[in-house]
Amino acid sequence: MGHYLHYVIGHFGYIGIMIVLMLGIVGMPIPDELLLTYVGYQISTGFMSYPIAFVFSFIGAITGISISYFLGVKLGLPFLRKVGPTIHITDKRMEQTKTLFAKLGPSVLFICYFIPGVRHVAAFLAGANAYDGKKFMVYAYSGAFVWILTFLTIGNYLGENWMTMKQYMDKYRAFFIVAFICLFAFYWYYQQKKK
């Protein structure tokens, strides 16, 4: 995986990051977190600039999630059910995402980046269910901002040990997802109570 990422970034630079992230979020089987962590590592070596890498990553992420949203608006759920299996979007993932939407509403668009599989479905479902476009942008784009900031910073901090991130993600993914959802639910509850 490291060779593949090195090739993409070495040959296409910042534009490569943007395109790969866009395709990954639309539904291609690309390890987005690993890519961002590797870019963070490249930042730590001085090969890339943090602000420029962040901007191109952000553009790629919001373009990808916007495409998914508009595909949902135009094509709806029958299309996702038909095409989903070919891009590794299973019925199980769709049901998980629907359940999260039922519990958390549009906040799912914020946290979906941190849940592989769900981020590929959330924007499409939001479009298919006619979620308001402005609300979609607020939640989805702010989620992209935090997600990119998190993984670029982790890669920058880990430096040469950036590949250990994959081991931690594989081992503790369920824990991180539950912890993140709990924190977000607590924050949402606190905001509602304050209102």
The model's pLDDT over 117-137, given as tens digits with 9 standing for 90+, comes to 777 778 888 888 777 888 889
Question: pTM of the entire structure?
Answer: 0.75
pLDDT at 99 over 80: no
Return d(Cα 121, Cα 83) in angstroms, integer. 12
Domain ranges of the chain: 2-194
Among 41-45, 114-118, 149-153, 159-163, name the one with the lowest average pLDDT.
159-163
How do the residues of the chain divide into helix, strand and coil, expressed in percent and rounded to 5? 85, 0, 15
Residues 127 and 117: beta-carbon distance below 8 Å = no
Environment class of 64 (CB within 10 Å of its CB; exposed 0-12, middle 13-18, buried 19+): buried
Average pLDDT in the 15-29 region?
86
The model's pLDDT over 26-41, given as tens digits with 9 standing for 90+, comes to 877 777 888 888 888 8
In this prediction, residue 58 has a pLDDT band, given cuts at 50, 70 and 90, of: very high
Q: What is the CA radius of gyration of the chain?
A: 17
Structure tokens at 170: 């594989």
